[in-house]
């Protein structure tokens, strides 16, 4: 029998918080789900934890590869293995309140125009203590006009928590999902916004853990390899890739001509907002390949190479 929801949890060396994340998912008041654990060649106690949970709950499927193929591959793998009409990504270090899935499904099944449902977010630290009630809202992602939803996802500085919401699988399947470049969840959310409305529950049912081992704390030079080991050391042009992806998703989305043109105009607004970032792409790339004296000179122009706030949140596996 096909479950109502597929939960995909990609993980690599996540033993510190994995059991806590699994307990929160197994405690959901909506029990009609499958939980797919994809272990990306972990070398710590992750395999032992996954096998123990899978042995005692038939809803869990544990899959493992012996070589780390990167977070992008692992995120997409759990989606490819999913069978339910609704899908949710989960992270090994986050938690969900017991009613999270139930309340998201209630909204999605009651309104066919919705493609995703998420909730407000509380951020916790390593010990599970609340440190922040995240307050950034994508105010118009529930608008009936695609242009309004699109502009909010690309212009408002946000942490991409919506990527961990409950989504319609058939809609997500029409997107590239998580690609092998830094911040690929931003264009993914933008593309989903063109295909339907988002719903944000007013309760804080999603708990995101911030800790020193989070992959999003890695330096810019190390981030490409986290997404895809084959990209280690490669030059990254993040904002140029965003521009390309925004143009692509507007071109492919099922939009009326007026809405399509309006969305292209919104991309023009995005360009006006980020001309410096586009220029910095070349400067940051130069810092990765230039001799040390030139890198030191460039440092004063484009900063110290840490991931900007807009990029500091997103998938972790």
**Given a cut of 70, is residue 298 above it in pLDDT?**
no
pLDDT band, very low/low/confident/very high, at 290 (cuts 50, 70, 90)? low
* Residue 313 belongs to a domain: no
**Residue 81 and residue 35 in one domain:** yes
Out of 27-31, 160-164, 278-282, pick the least confident: 278-282
Structural domain including 38 reads 5-217
Is the domain of 180 the same as that of 272?
no
Q: Examine the domain organization and report whether 240 and 188 are in the same domain.
A: no
C-alpha to C-alpha distances, 313 to 37, 119, 205, nearest whole angstrom: 21, 16, 18
The rounded Cα 58 to chain-centroid distance in angstroms is 27
**Greatest Cα pair distance in the chain:** 63
Q: What local confidence, expressed as pLDDT, does residue 300 receive?
A: 60
pLDDT at 118 over 60: yes
12 in a structural domain: yes
- Residue 79: predicted pLDDT: 98
Report the alpha-carbon distance of residue 187 to residue 207 in Å, rounded: 23
Do 139 and 88 share a structural domain? yes
Q: Which of 232, 194, 211 is nearest to 69 (CA)?
A: 232
Q: Which residues pair with 40 in a beta bridge?
A: 65
pLDDT at 313 over 90: no
Beta bridge partners of 87: 6, 167
Q: Is the pLDDT of residue 200 over 80?
A: yes
Q: Residue 282: inside a domain, yes or no?
A: yes
- Assess contact for 147 and 267: CB atoms under 8 A: no
Amino acid 224: pLDDT: 73
236 and 148 within one domain: no
Confidence label for 104 from pLDDT (cuts 50, 70 and 90)? very high
Average pLDDT of every residue of the chain: 88
The answer to whether residue 25 sits within a structural domain is yes
Span 74-91, average pLDDT: 97
Residues 142 and 61 in one domain: yes
Is 71 in the same domain as 110?
yes
Domain annotation covers residue 170: yes
Same domain, 227 and 194: no
Per-residue pLDDT of 55-75, as tens digits, reads: 999 999 999 999 999 999 999
Q: For position 285, what pLDDT does the model report?
A: 60
Does residue 159 share a domain with residue 75?
yes
User: Residue 259: inside a domain, yes or no?
Assistant: no
Q: What is the number of structural domains in the chain?
A: 2
Report the percent of the chain where pLDDT is more than 90.
Answer: 74
* CATH number of the domain within which 124 lies: 3.90.550.10
8-state DSSP, 267: H
Buried/exposed 287-305: b ≥16 CB within 10 Å, e otherwise? beeeeeeeeeebeeebeee
Domain shared by 97 and 172, yes or no: yes
- 41 touches 67 (CB < 8 A): yes
63 located within any domain:
yes
- Answer whether residue 308 is part of any domain: no
- Residue 158 confidence class, pLDDT cut points 50, 70, 90: very high
Residue 94 and residue 22 share a domain: yes
Is residue 60 domain-shared with residue 200, that is, in the same domain?
A: yes
């Amino acid at each position: 029998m096909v479950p109502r929801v597929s939960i995909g949890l990609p993980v690599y060396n996540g033993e510190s918080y994995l059991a806590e994340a699994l307990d929160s998912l197994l405690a959901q008041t909506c029990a009609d789900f499958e939980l797919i654990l994809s272990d990306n060649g972990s070398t710590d106690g992750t395999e032992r934890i996954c096998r123990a949970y899978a042995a005692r709950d038939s809803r869990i499927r544990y899959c493992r590869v012996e070589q780390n193929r990167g977070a992008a591959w692992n995120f997409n793998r759990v989606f490819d293995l999913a069978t339910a009409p609704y899908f949710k990504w989960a992270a090994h270090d986050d938690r969900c309140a017991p009613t999270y899935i139930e309340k998201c499904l209630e909204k999605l099944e009651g309104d066919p125009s919705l493609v995703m449902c998420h909730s407000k977010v509380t951020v916790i630290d390593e010990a599970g203590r609340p440190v922040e009630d995240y307050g950034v809202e994508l105010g118009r992602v529930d608008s009936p006009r695609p242009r309004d939803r699109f502009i909010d996802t690309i212009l408002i500085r946000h942490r991409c928590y919506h990527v961990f919401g409950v989504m319609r699988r058939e809609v997500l399947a029409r997107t590239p999902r998580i690609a092998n470049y830094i911040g690929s969840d931003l264009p993914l959310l933008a593309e989903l916004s063109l295909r339907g409305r988002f719903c944000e529950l007013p309760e804080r049912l999603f708990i995101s853990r911030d800790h020193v081992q989070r992959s999003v704390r890695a330096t810019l030079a190390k981030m490409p390899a986290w997404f895809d080991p084959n990209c280690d050391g490669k030059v990254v042009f993040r904002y140029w890739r965003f521009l390309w992806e925004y143009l692509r998703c507007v071109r492919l989305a099922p939009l009326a001509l007026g809405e399509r043109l309006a969305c292209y105009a919104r991309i023009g607004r995005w360009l006006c907002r980020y001309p410096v970032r586009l220029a910095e792409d070349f400067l940051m790339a130069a810092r990765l390949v230039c001799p040390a004296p030139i890198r030191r000179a460039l440092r004063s122009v484009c900063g110290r190479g840490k991931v900007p706030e807009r990029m500091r949140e997103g998938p972790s596996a």
